[in-house]
Amino acid sequence: MKKSIVRIVITGAESTGKSALSQHLAEIYSGVWIPEYAREYIESLNRPYVLDDVLAIARHQIANDIWHTQHSTEGVIFFDTWLILTKVWLEIVYGNCPDWISDHIRASKIDLFLVCNNDIPWIEDKVRENGGEKREALFELYCAQISAFGFTYEIISGVGHERVENALKAIDMHQLNL
């Protein structure tokens, strides 16, 4: 009997431990970890990013999402961030988001979003640009977007091992049969 694929997105504002948490959860559940592509892409630029860069990131995220959907037969996939963040990024920085992005989000089958709370200190680096009050506003926007698209989410708080334990409890609470 073919088992279904469980898709979990770890998301949240900058510097909230998404990468570490998503990778750790993938290890715990022997799942697939999809690293954040936007960071890799932006770090490789030798210039400030522009609209075409963000659209290229979105296209890559969609292609990656489609590929894993078509080629995975069972188990769990953990996404380190996802297309909703790119949508919000486009709306905030450029004032709009193309319909093809919203269409893909709407058509996607995400089983659970784990939204990392802002209870970890923001650490500046060359890619991050939204600390302080902007970070809290983005957290609220992400939760609102996830909810508006009808996805289920849990807010994950705590530092270090406590954050991992809270994520595990949230996953168990939703009985995803991992």
pLDDT of residue 70: 83
Q: What is the CATH number of the domain that holds 148?
A: 3.40.50.300
**pLDDT tens readout for residues 39-58:** 889 889 989 999 999 999 99
Residue 46: exposure state from Cβ atoms within 10 A (0-12, 13-18, ≥19): exposed
Mean pLDDT of 159-176: 93
Q: With helix as H, strand as E and coil as C, how does 69-102 read?
A: HHHCCCEEEEEECCHHHHHHHHHHHHCCCCHHHH
Is position 61 within any domain? yes
CA distances from residue 65 to 19, 31, 135 in whole angstroms, order as listed: 17, 15, 26
As given in the structure block, the two tokens for residue 107 are 């058509």
Q: Which pLDDT value is given to residue 128?
A: 67
Q: What's the pLDDT band for 104 if we cut at 50, 70, 90?
A: very high
Q: Where in the sequence is the domain holding 107, given as residue range(s)?
A: 5-173
pLDDT number for residue 99: 97
The answer to whether position 178 is within a domain reads no
Confidence bin at 1 (pLDDT 50/70/90): very low
The C-alpha atoms of residue 15 and residue 132 are separated, in whole angstroms, by 11
Number of domains in the chain: 1
Residue 161 counted as domain residue: yes
CA dist 83 and 18 (Å) reads 14
What tens digit of pLDDT does each residue of 139-149 get? 999 999 999 99
The per-residue pLDDT for 2 is 43
* Residue 125, domain member (yes or no): yes
Q: Is residue 38 part of a domain?
A: yes
Confidence of residue 127 (pLDDT cuts 50, 70, 90): low
